[in-house]
């Protein structure tokens, strides 16, 4: 139904247009320019239709004064069929009014152009009455061709973008949807039947952000190629995906529609695509896809409910990466799934911030080492680690920083941090993160607070077995020329080796590099595990690096999800700038591997992180491993 809008009467005593440019009213036909119709699309969004003269500088601009406030308008000329003044063209003016503007506001005057090249129009040049949207569209835009109507919709969306970002954005979006429905061409509704020469469905749509989406579905068509696959948003934006779609096999669809497509090739009825919209979309209802094959057959497909739960979207995408890795669909990952996950990580970067930092115990004036320990999920490690730190006088002289990456535990940490610092005699700071940001961002946040010359990145489930380990690790670091990072030996509770440096192994079949630990599971006194040496990489469960170098390298990469591979990524980047990574067995600590990071989440993230790590560093890993084998005889 058309929206009924309030009428606004013009002031009969208002003046004729005034030319502010060089030409006089007598020499220009400006006085013939009129706004002859208009409508409120919704509160705060006004559309006026009338004639316009292009100004001498070629610009067509306008401002409108509403209740004394000057508001910029978007204007564009259109080939409407009506009798207008010679030398003028018809134009549409879209006015996105300030927040709080209602339909009853008084129109005062219109100013075309800007500065000396402008003409001002008083109220008689505005419509005597505003009417409903449907009538305005019927008398003007409806006469345009299909392509021109779609171009008009794009102009309307661009002009409405400021209003869409305001509190009333949903109301503006609904108004745009009404205009879209009035102007668009309807296609036949999609049917899922092998009797149809063109069938299809959109199975799922995941919202990565307000303007990025991942679509999955299928299209079965006799013609081998799609001429159009056009997403139409509720607001009327049109995004063409035909040349960007990933086509893949869908066995369940093959069983119904046949194992070969219209071109006689093995069927790839599945469609997937990650795409972005022109503006953030506020509505979940009204989305559709228009599909046209190369023979001209056409259909439109309505969307299912959009999944917008951030954690569910991320975890679903992570699971899909694992599935597609096993299926060998690297193009689907690199072109569609990975960009969506990268955008999620970029949004986390933008949202990551420290809410507050609290000092417990007396703050140190200076320290050689800053320990940075992220806390995620489990607080029992805090007391276990501090109990061990309290037995070592060196730790009392270090800058100890815990980063709480679980905001839901703020109160619990606040309640126990001060008593624990006092009980064990370990001064410490706690950085409380605004939200859960993941291992890399939490570590980088802590490092940004560090005062020490050296950083020790450390997991909360790493526990020393005796005092003096920190000083020995500093000595090892400072004694290595051209050092990038150095890490100690880490062992399990039973004394078996957990970490003695990392190397890279390419998985057969998948082609992805996996991080492997030297001597893992072997007894910690194994002679080969007790040789200090250069290694391809070390674990950030306990890694020492110069604070200045860490910052120069940009810290741990936030591209990886939650945790895993950030440490080897940093080591590979150190290699690229000519630095060396070392393992030193003179220092030994216990590591309760994986307990600071839930295995259920790790099982989802590891596949994607491994894929990303390989695609970022494939050539570098090849060179690192070749150099290591040549120099150390290890592999």
Q: How far is CA 424 from the centre of its chain?
A: 43
CA trace torsion 19, 24, 28, 29 (10° rounding): 60
Q: What is the pLDDT of residues 578-616, one digit of tens each?
A: 999 999 999 999 998 765 555 566 778 888 999 999 999
Give the model's pLDDT for residue 386: 96
Strands 542-546 and 454-458: antiparallel
Residue 634 clears pLDDT 60, i.e. is over it: no
Give CA separation, 484 vs 99, 479, 530, 544, 559, in Å: 54, 12, 20, 9, 21
Q: What is the pLDDT of residues 509-554, one digit of tens each?
A: 888 999 999 999 999 999 999 999 999 999 999 999 999 999 999 9
Alpha carbons 608 and 615: distance in angstroms, whole number: 11
pLDDT bracket for residue 19 (50, 70, 90) = very low
Q: What is the DSSP letter of 117?
A: E
SS3 at position 610: helix
Question: What is the pTM for the complete model shown?
Answer: 0.84
Residue 248 clears pLDDT 50, i.e. is over it: yes
Closest C-alpha among 138, 219, 215, 124 to residue 179: 138
Task: Return the number of other C-beta atoms located less than 10 Å from residue 97's C-beta.
Answer: 24
Give the model's pLDDT for residue 86: 52
**Arithmetic mean of pLDDT, 220-237:** 89
SS3 at position 111: strand
Residue 418 clears pLDDT 90, i.e. is over it: yes
Q: What domains lie within the chain, and their CATH numbers?
A: 18-183 (no CATH), 198-309 (2.60.40.10), 354-632 (3.90.550.10)
pLDDT bracket for residue 76 (50, 70, 90) = confident
Q: What is the pLDDT of residues 402-414, one digit of tens each?
A: 999 999 999 999 9
SS3 at position 44: coil
Query: Which stretch of 94-103, 164-173, 443-452, 484-493 has the lowest confidence by average pLDDT?
Result: 94-103
Residue 116 clears pLDDT 80, i.e. is over it: no
Closest C-alpha among 169, 149, 151 to residue 160: 169
Percentage of the chain lying above the pLDDT 90 cut: 59
Top pLDDT among 266 and 418 is at 418
DSSP secondary structure, 195-212, as one string: TSSEEEEEEEEEESSSSE
pLDDT bracket for residue 23 (50, 70, 90) = very low
Give the model's pLDDT for residue 290: 97
Give the model's pLDDT for residue 595: 59
Top pLDDT among 153 and 104 is at 153
49 close to 59: Cβ distance less than 8 angstroms: no
Q: What is the pLDDT of residues 252-309, one digit of tens each?
A: 998 888 877 666 678 889 999 999 998 888 898 999 999 999 889 999 999 999 999 9
Q: What is the DSSP letter of 279?
A: S
Percentage of the chain lying above the pLDDT 70 cut: 83
Give the model's pLDDT for residue 377: 85
CA angle 616, 621, 624 (to 5 degrees): 145
Alpha carbons 460 and 542: distance in angstroms, whole number: 10
Strand order in the sheet with 288-293: 238-240, 226-232, 288-293, 298-302
**Arithmetic mean of pLDDT, 157-163:** 88
Give the model's pLDDT for residue 471: 97
Give the model's pLDDT for residue 4: 25
Give the model's pLDDT for residue 566: 96
Residue 33 clears pLDDT 80, i.e. is over it: no
**Arithmetic mean of pLDDT, 372-400:** 94
H or E element at residue 585? strand 580-591
Alpha carbons 225 and 295: distance in angstroms, whole number: 9
Give the model's pLDDT for residue 267: 82
**Arithmetic mean of pLDDT, 31-48:** 76
Close Cβ partners of 245 (under 8 Å, ≥ 6 residues apart): 226, 229, 271, 272, 273
pLDDT bracket for residue 450 (50, 70, 90) = very high
Q: What is the pLDDT of residues 127-139, one digit of tens each?
A: 666 788 888 888 8
Q: What is the mean pLDDT of the chain?
A: 85
**Arithmetic mean of pLDDT, 91-104:** 75
Give the model's pLDDT for residue 510: 80
460 close to 378: Cβ distance less than 8 angstroms: yes
**Arithmetic mean of pLDDT, 152-164:** 90
Task: Return the number of other C-beta atoms located less than 10 Å from residue 363's C-beta.
Answer: 12
Residue 74 clears pLDDT 90, i.e. is over it: no
């Amino acid at each position: 139904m058309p929206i009924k809008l309030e009428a606004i009467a013009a002031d009969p005593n208002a003046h004729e247009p005034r030319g502010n440019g060089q030409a006089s009213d007598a020499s220009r036909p400006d006085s013939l320019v009129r706004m002859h119709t208009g409508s409120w699309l919704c509160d705060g969004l006004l559309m006026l239709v009338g004639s316009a003269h292009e100004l001498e500088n070629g610009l067509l601009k306008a401002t409108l004064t509403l209740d004394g406030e000057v508001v910029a308008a978007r204007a564009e000329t259109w080939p409407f069929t009506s009798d207008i003044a010679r030398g003028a063209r018809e134009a549409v003016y879209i006015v996105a009014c300030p927040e709080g503007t209602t339909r009853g506001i008084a129109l005062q005057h219109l100013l075309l152009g800007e500065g000396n090249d402008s003409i001002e129009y008083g109220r008689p040049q505005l419509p005597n009455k505003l009417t409903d949207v449907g009538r305005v569209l019927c008398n003007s835009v409806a006469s345009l061709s299909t392509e021109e109507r779609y171009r008009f919709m794009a102009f309307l969306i661009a002009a409405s973008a400021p209003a869409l970002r305001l509190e009333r954005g949903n109301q503006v979006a609904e108004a745009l949807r009404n205009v879209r429905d009035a102007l668009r061409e309807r296609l036949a509704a999609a049917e899922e039947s092998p009797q149809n020469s063109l069938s299809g469905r959109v199975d799922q749509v995941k919202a990565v952000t307000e303007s990025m989406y991942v679509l999955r579905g299928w299209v079965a068509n006799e013609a081998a190629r799609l001429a159009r696959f056009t997403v139409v948003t509720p607001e009327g934006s049109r995004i063409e995906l035909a040349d960007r779609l990933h086509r893949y096999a869908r066995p369940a669809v093959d069983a119904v529609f046949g194992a070969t497509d219209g071109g006689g090739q093995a069927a790839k009825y599945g469609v997937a695509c990650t795409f972005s919209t022109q503006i953030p979309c506020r509505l979940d209802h009204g989305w559709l896809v228009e599909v046209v094959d190369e023979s001209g057959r056409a259909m439109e497909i309505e969307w299912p409910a959009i999944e917008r739960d951030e954690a569910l979207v991320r975890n679903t995408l992570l699971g899909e990466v694992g599935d597609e890795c096993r299926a060998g669909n690297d193009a689907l990952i690199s072109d569609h799934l990975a960009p969506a996950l990268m955008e999620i990580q970029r949004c986390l970067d933008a949202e990551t911030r420290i809410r507050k930092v609290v000092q417990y115990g007396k703050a140190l004036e200076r320290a050689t080492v800053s320990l940075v320990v992220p806390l995620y999920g489990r607080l029992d490690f805090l007391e276990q680690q501090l109990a061990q730190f309290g037995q070592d006088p060196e730790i009392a002289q270090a800058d100890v920083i815990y980063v709480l990456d679980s905001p839901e535990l703020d109160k619990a940490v606040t309640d126990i941090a001060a008593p624990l610092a006092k009980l064990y005699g370990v001064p410490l700071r706690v950085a409380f993160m605004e939200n859960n940001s993941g291992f890399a961002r939490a570590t980088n946040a802590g490092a940004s607070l560090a005062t020490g010359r050296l950083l020790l990145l450390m997991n909360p489930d790493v526990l020393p077995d005796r005092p003096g380990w920190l000083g020995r690790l500093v000595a090892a670091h400072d004694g290595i020329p051209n050092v990038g990072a150095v890490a100690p030996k880490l062992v399990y509770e039973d004394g078996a080796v957990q970490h003695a440096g990392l190397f890279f192994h390419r998985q057969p079949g998948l082609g992805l590099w996996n991080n492997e630990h030297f001597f893992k599971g072997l007894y910690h006194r194994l002679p080969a595990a007790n040789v200090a040496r250069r290694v391809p990489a070390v674990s950030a469960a306990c890694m020492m690096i110069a604070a200045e170098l860490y910052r120069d390298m940009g810290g741990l990469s936030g591209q990886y999800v939650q945790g895993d591979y950030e440490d080897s990524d940093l080591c590979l980047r150190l290699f690229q700038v000519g630095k060396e990574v070392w393992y030193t067995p003179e220092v030994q600590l216990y590591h309760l591997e994986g307990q600071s990071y839930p295995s259920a989440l790790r099982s989802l993230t590891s596949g994607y992180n491994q894929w990303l790590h390989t695609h970022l560093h494939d050539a570098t890993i090849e060179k690192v491993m070749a150099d290591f084998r040549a120099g150390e005889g290890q592999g």
